[in-house]
Copies of this chain bind each other. A is one copy, B any other.
Amino acid sequence: MIEYRNLRIALLGGGAVGAQVARILLEQGEELADRVGAGLELIGIAVRDVNAPRSVDLPQELFTTDAESLILGADVVIELIGGIEPARSYILQAITSGADVVTANKALLAAHGPELFAAADQVGAQLNYEAAVAGAIPIVRPLRDSLAGDTVKRILGIVNGTTNFILDRMDQAGDSLQEALDTATTLGYAEADPTADIEGYDAAQKAALLARLAFHTDVPLESVYREGITGITREQIESARKAGYVVKLLAICERLTDAATGQEGVSARVYPALVSRGHPLAAVHGGNNAVFVEAEAAGPLMFYGAGAGGVQTASAVLGDLVSLARRHVVGGPGFAAAANADLPVRDIGQVITRYAVTLEVNDEPGVLATIARVFSNHHVSLALVEQSTNVRAVLVDGGDGPELAPSTATLVIGTHEATEAALAATVRDLAAHSVVTTVASVLRVEGA
């Protein structure tokens, strides 16, 4: 057996991920030491309550409530407590005291990434965060290193397992959103308060991180356009299926060229979108995640795996740890994702995509031409229109005795590419138009 000098590892957080990281470090320390060329000594686990129950049986003497002292004695700090504070202060303290850092904290990085990356850069510390972006799926190194000589054009990511589980369930079992959410909660795919997932906040944080990696540009979380899945109905899923599509909540990062100036910019956004069933993303079922990357030279690439789960996420954390421990042993700084390109971040209005609009209209002569004119007024051109008449047997009593309600028609309209701004103006006009009863659904179509 080879004797190595030890790297002292401080773990902040003893939750589902932290407990698994500790377990694997303790169980496989010797093998990991061989890979690193140094021992990985877990010197302590900082938690709020040392007596709280844990998902894994760990030596009681490792637990402490004194995170700051633990950090001071560490070569590497693994931050798994989540949230903004005290996580941010702990990471800054670790960097200042000369430690390298591994974190899985997407909320913190999306909100304070530039500050933390700059602090690490300044002292040559490493700050690794693979687990923050897509759980167990290795995506940071592929984007930062493997594609460093290529130009990423677009990323379409299914980066939230809860919403993918719900949408997949609605698609496969015909559940309503509420039914699917209930199942997700029962099976542990959704938390008691599912807001961060179903409203797209979690996906938006990951979109900001992905965009930074892909475009070498800081993308503030505030500039990530976000829509959740709470408006998605069984009817939308059903009619998507009939048309050969599936609804997925996508985190989209895209390089955009301004039509007027020709200047490059980037967009990061999250919304539920129609994806063709032939697209590799359509085959991502249940709580799985996948990141589909379109690069100029490499072409389409996809990275698929578990987006969450304690032991799965622990894999990404330990990969980060072993990588930076190797670097710690041989010397030389780490690489943050450079933000040197510094491209302007575009407003959602400038985004160009295709749309599927479902309208309920009065079934009267010339209605199609009228509707088509609304689209063309805003230079949105139509790719496909499907009309079906809804015969209504409802009787309306207008005061002059009962009479037959005017029958309505459902129009499903697919557009060619248009800007969000043009589409929004079109929808505003449609909603106000006298022949339109309801704008029943507006969904974007992604992944041509």
Residue ranges of A at the interface with B (Cβ–Cβ < 8 Å): 20, 24, 28, 31-32, 34-35, 130, 136-138, 140-142, 145-151, 216, 280, 283, 295-306, 309, 311-312, 314-323, 326-327, 330-333, 335, 338, 340-341
Contacts and interface: CB of A to CB of B under 8 A. Distances in A.
Nearest to A138: B146
B283 A297 contact: no
A305 B302 contact: yes
A150 B283 contact: no
A280 B304 contact: yes
Given A141-B141, A147-B315, A303 B306 contact: no
21 contacts: A20-B297, A28-B151, A31-B341, A35-B216, A130-B146, A136-B295, A138-B141, A138-B301, A140-B146, A141-B142, A141-B145, A146-B323, A149-B319, A280-B304, A298-B306, A298-B315, A299-B311, A300-B305, A303-B303, A303-B304, A332-B332
Given A280-B283, A330-B332, A332-B331, A150 B300 contact: no
A318 B149 contact: yes
Given A332-B327, A335-B326, A298 B316 contact: yes
A427 to B, nearest CB: 35
A148 B340 CA distance: 29
A314 to B, nearest CB: 5
Nearest to A318: B149
Nearest to A25: B149
A136 B299 contact: yes
Contact of A312 (B136, B145, B297): B297
B305 A301 contact: yes
A315 B302 contact: no
Of residues A299, A317, A321, which shows the largest number of chain B Cβ atoms within 10 Å of its Cβ?
A: A299
Contacts of A327: 332
Given A283-B280, A304-B301, A331-B332, A148 B318 contact: yes
Contacts of A140: 146
Contacts of A335: 326
A312 B340 CA distance: 25
Contacts of A298: 136, 305-306, 312, 315-316
A20 B298 CA distance: 11
Contact of A297 (B302, B303, B311): B311
A344 B206 CA distance: 41
B322 A149 contact: yes
Contacts of A146: 130, 138, 140-141, 316, 319, 323
A319 B152 CA distance: 12
A24 B303 contact: no
Given A24-B297, A141-B146, A299-B309, 9 more contacts: A31-B151, A136-B298, A138-B301, A140-B146, A148-B318, A149-B319, A298-B315, A299-B305, A327-B332
A24 B297 CA distance: 9
A306 to B, nearest CB: 5
A372 B320 CA distance: 51
A142 B333 CA distance: 20
A321 B300 CA distance: 21
B138 A322 contact: no
Contact of A314 (B297, B306, B315, B338): B297
Nearest to A32: B149
A149 B24 contact: yes
A34 B341 CA distance: 8
A297 to B, nearest CB: 4
A276 to B, nearest CB: 14
A295 B314 CA distance: 12
A34 B316 contact: no
A294 to B, nearest CB: 10
